[in-house]
Amino acid sequence: MMHRSRSIVRREMKPGDPDAVVDSRLRVFGTTGLRAVDASIFPRIPGFFIVTPVHMISEKASDVILEDARRG
pLDDT in tens, 8-59: 445 555 567 777 888 889 999 889 999 999 888 887 887 878 899 999 999 9
Give the global pTM: 0.70
pLDDT of residue 10: 53
Q: What is the DSSP letter of 32?
A: S
Measured CA angle at 28 (ends 62, 60), to 5 deg = 20
Q: What is the structure's pLDDT at 33?
A: 93
Amino acid type, 61:
A
